[in-house]
Amino acid sequence: MSARQAEEAVTVHETPSVPALLLYWPARLLLKTAYRIWPLGDRGIRALTFIEVLFGWLPKPPNVDLTTVDLGGVEAELSVPRTPAHDQLRGVSVLYLHGGGFLFCGPATHRRVCARLAETLGVSVYSLRYRQLPEAGAGTSVQDACDAYRALLDRSDAPDKVVVAGDSAGGFLAAKICELAATDGVPRPAAFVGYSPQLSLDPDRHDPALLGADAYMPLSAIRRAKPRWERGPVALRGTRSPVDAPVEVFPPTFLTAADRELLEPDIRALTGRLHAAGRAVETHVWRRGVHAFPVLDALTSESRAAMRLTGEFLREVFGRTDTARLETVEVADDRAG
């Protein structure tokens, strides 16, 4: 596969908005420094829980109803739109896995993006409170995600319309659900949505000069966090790098990335592999963006565009699925006649 062929599935958005630039430079100057110096011992990681607490105090988003549910023994916050979809997305549900490097964040920090997904798409969105550091490493987070996915299949009236989505480390969990569903003989997700997904536990394996260009994720912080991702109590199953998993495990896939962010090489690599194999994949890269910018809700036009493009992609996916299902029924009726 040539680089040119791989690029066919990637759309690059060249001109950043003013709000995006206003976010980019403070993130580069302030957040990158904070990530570089923040202590990643158990006490330092526990101190990060204040971020989830602070976001929990914010006003609840309008136009969705929020409840707490149990998915396979894992707590999830359910966002239900007050105006459900009546088009191709009718009956679709989304299991959303928040990012945070397996260190911090939760349903509260990602409440806005999940509510926006629910409202924009007209679908129910389950935001999972999976176990993470310092008590549990990446393998345990993966186990919680897979248990919740199976429970959602059982709970859903349309198990063939369950989408897995996530940003950053949550994108790793969503990709692992795709991989391990195939391994375990579980129905695979209907689609995979990744906002700057982390597709390997070794994201530092690429050119350090390129990786150092990320707006706010310093390479040094990734290397300090990596040994902690190995912590139990549940060992990681399958590959450390879903980017290298067999392409057959992936359903239709929608990905976003910021240009020159630390995770972009693996995002482009997965895009290229899926495209070369004839799999449905659509990837969008924004210049001067910050990592996982779609979770910023409506703060920038780029975030709004990512949400709109997500909806367009999923409507196309489920439009094809509904057409295939209708054709199957018509063939069966013809044979019966």
Name 69's bridge partners.
Answer: 76
Q: Which helix (H) or strand (E) holds 193?
A: strand 191-195
| Planar angle of CA 19, 21, 25, nearest 5 degrees | 125
Sign of CA dihedral 284, 287, 290, 295: negative
Max alpha carbon distance in the chain (Å)? 72
Q: Are the beta carbons of 64 and 82 closer than 8 angstroms?
A: yes
Sign of CA dihedral 25, 30, 33, 34: negative
Q: Quote the CA–CA distance of 130 and 128 in Å, as a whole number.
A: 6
Name 175's bridge partners.
Answer: none
Q: Quote the CA–CA distance of 123 and 99 in Å, as a whole number.
A: 21
Q: Quote the CA–CA distance of 337 and 330 in Å, as a whole number.
A: 10
Q: Quote the CA–CA distance of 21 and 193 in Å, as a whole number.
A: 25
Cis peptide before 233 (omega within 30 of 0): yes
| Cβ burial 236-272 (10 Å sphere, 16+ → b, else e) | beebebbbebebebbbbbbbbbbbbbbbbbbbbbbbb
Residue of 17, 168, 196, 200 marked active site = 168
Residue with tokens 């607490």: 53
Task: Please tell me whether residue 60 adopts helix, strand or coil conformation.
Answer: coil
Type of residue at 131: R
Question: Could you confirm whether 168 is annotated as catalytic?
Answer: yes
Residues known to be catalytic: 168
